[in-house]
A and B are shown apart, each in its own frame.
Chain A
Amino acid sequence: MVARVCAAIAVALTALLLQMTLVGPLAPWAPASLPAVVVAAVAITAGPGAGMSMGFSLGLLADLGSAHPVGVLALTWLGLGALVGRYADPRRARTSTITLAAIGAALAGIAGEVLLALVQSDAIRIPSLPRQLIIALVLDAALLVLVLPAARSILGRLRAPTLGIQRG
């Protein structure tokens, strides 16, 4: 349990720092989000419960380090973890799993932006949303190709031996 929590903290910080120093500066106007992709990868690999936990925690941390109201990313990525964990089955073909998760991450970005606009009483820039969605979809899918194997490897090492018995 302690090892899982430590691993989750390490993964969350790594995702945020790489977003700040690498992904963000290299794609400044593109809505690519490594933390959202990490949440989706954890949800695919470990299920909706772990996805929700990672989504809420990572979102709250990102909110506290940002300038927008606290809770926006926590709520958005909570939903991302729950929905991707629910619908992206790891037993499916890798391509369809990644596509589904990338759609989830891209839609989470749009949902977050709409939520932020509503909270701050800003106008929602509807004409730019489809373009943003497509760019986010492509970039998030590319990031997922890299992140998903890493998530499977880390979570596979942390999973306790079950001797063939699985609960619930």
Chain B
Amino acid sequence: MNGLSRSRPGARTLTSRQRRAAIILAIVASLFITVDVAAAPFRDARGGVSGVLGSLARATDSVVGPARRFVQGVPDVGANREKIATLEQQNADLRRKLVDQTIDQASADQIAALQLHADASGLPLLPARVIGTGPGQGFEFTVVIDVGAPDGVVLGQTVTAGAGLIGRVVDVQESSSTVLLIGDADAGIGVRNLRTGELGVLRGTGTGSLVLSPLDPAADLKAGDQLVSGPTGESTFVADLLVATITAASRAPSGAFTATASPAASLTALNVVGVLLTAPPPAAGSPIAGRAPLQPGGN
């Protein structure tokens, strides 16, 4: 069947032709990795594929988005016990309407929070809706938003979710952009402890929590300390935005302090976000639309 042979029941053997094909494809994939890490020659191809996938994702989101947002809104509804107690006394139609209303209210609250934040920072803010995650989800933590280059989005811009900073733009297309979340294992951001003024680097772990490494190994860290984005000029992020709150601090045998922190804005329940329309980072020849190289610890 399909050019394969069976050596024993329960197992299928690759033909010699298939084995050769597997070896050749593995070599090709390895070459792609090596070349892309060394010289990044796939920028145009990436832009094309990202653009097509972004456009298709927008169309797909218009179909599956309502159902997804309904499921995502269920925990919020469950958290509001008083409202549920009232809802339980009403009929099924009214309950469905109230759930929809709750989801709309959550979106409205997020937009209001974004506007408040934009007013405080004095920067123009572009509201955007999250239409999906990156196709390589599981290997990287990115989200795709429904605004692109024509809306004023450029590489490196800071993205917030009302309560706090969530990431930066790493890819811009005509109708969509990709945001690398601060929880990604490759994401790093320079931060300042609001209580002590100590500086440090906050890194993602790929699991939802963040790890803080203070520049001064003996820095005083306490649970509850708030961390804001680093000093102006020292970071690609907009300064003084709330990023995370320390949840636990520990001391290594070497005496150095490290801490875990939780993001100020939930990275797992993103719906409406805001792109702070700052000038792009000072890199000569930065493209308006395209993809930024992923720099480990790109703070």
Is chain B found bound to chain A in the same assembly? yes
Interface of A is mostly: helix
User: Which of B37, B71, B178, B180 is the most central at the interface, judged by chain A CB atoms within 10 Å of its CB?
Assistant: B37
- Answer yes or no: B46 CB below 8 A from chain A CBs: yes
A64 and B46 contact, Cβ closer than 8 Å, known pairs A22-B64, A120-B296 = yes
- Answer yes or no: B65 CB below 8 A from chain A CBs: yes
Q: Would you give the 0/1 interface string for A24-51, flagging 1 where the beta carbon is closer than 8 Å to chain B?
A: 1110111111010000000000111110
A52 and B294 contact, Cβ closer than 8 Å, known pairs A25-B68, A33-B137, A70-B46 = no
- Answer yes or no: A107 CB below 8 A from chain B CBs: no
A-B Cβ contacts below 8 A, count:
213
A16 and B135 contact, Cβ closer than 8 Å, known pairs A26-B72, A49-B2, A75-B26 = yes
- A116–B186 Cα distance when bound, in Å, is 10
User: Which of A16, A78, A87, A119 is the most central at the interface, judged by chain B CB atoms within 10 Å of its CB?
Assistant: A16
Q: Are A67 and B140 in contact (CB under 8 A)?
A: yes
Number of interface residues of A (CB under 8 A): 67
Chain B residue at minimum C-beta to C-beta distance from A166:
B1
Q: Are B205 and A20 in contact (CB under 8 A)?
A: no
- A75–B32 Cα distance when bound, in Å, is 10
- Answer yes or no: B29 CB below 8 A from chain A CBs: yes
Chain B residue at minimum C-beta to C-beta distance from A29:
B208
Q: Are B33 and A85 in contact (CB under 8 A)?
A: no
- A85–B240 Cα distance when bound, in Å, is 53
A64 and B49 contact, Cβ closer than 8 Å, known pairs A20-B134, A21-B60 = yes
A122 and B138 contact, Cβ closer than 8 Å, known pairs A22-B68, A25-B130, A75-B33 = no
Q: Closest approach, in angstroms, between the C-beta of A127 and any C-beta of chain B?
A: 10
* Interface bin, chain B: 35 or more
Q: Are B180 and A20 in contact (CB under 8 A)?
A: no
Q: Which residues of A contact B46 (CB under 8 A)?
A: 64-65, 70
- Answer yes or no: A95 CB below 8 A from chain B CBs: no
Q: Are B139 and A52 in contact (CB under 8 A)?
A: no
Mark out the residues of chain B between 61 and 75 whose CB falls within 8 Å of any chain A CB in the assembled complex: 61, 64-65, 68, 71-72
Q: Are B33 and A72 in contact (CB under 8 A)?
A: yes
Q: Are A86 and B11 in contact (CB under 8 A)?
A: yes
A67 and B21 contact, Cβ closer than 8 Å, known pairs A13-B56, A29-B208, A47-B4 = no
A62 and B136 contact, Cβ closer than 8 Å, known pairs A52-B22, A67-B294, A121-B296 = yes
Q: Would you give the 0/1 interface string for B50-88, flagging 1 where the beta carbon is closer than 8 Å to chain A?
A: 100100110011001100100110000000000000000
- A26–B132 Cα distance when bound, in Å, is 10
Q: Are B72 and A17 in contact (CB under 8 A)?
A: no
Chain B residue at minimum C-beta to C-beta distance from A85:
B12
Q: Are A24 and B134 in contact (CB under 8 A)?
A: yes
Q: Are A86 and B14 in contact (CB under 8 A)?
A: yes
Q: Are A26 and B71 in contact (CB under 8 A)?
A: yes
Q: Are B296 and A48 in contact (CB under 8 A)?
A: no
A47-B2, A125-B207 given. 4 additional CB < 8 A pairs?
A20-B137, A62-B135, A62-B136, A68-B136
A residues apposed to B, CB below 8 Å: 13, 16-26, 28-33, 35, 46-50, 52, 56, 59-75, 78-79, 82, 85-87, 89, 91-92, 109, 112-113, 116-117, 119-122, 125, 128, 136, 166-168
B residues apposed to A, CB below 8 Å: 1-5, 9-15, 18, 21-22, 25-26, 28-33, 36-37, 42, 45-46, 48-50, 53, 56-57, 60-61, 64-65, 68, 71-72, 130-144, 170-171, 178, 180, 183, 185-186, 205-208, 267-268, 291, 294, 296
Shortest Cβ-Cβ A-B pairs, 8 listed: A24-B133, A71-B32, A66-B136, A20-B132, A75-B29, A71-B33, A64-B49, A24-B137
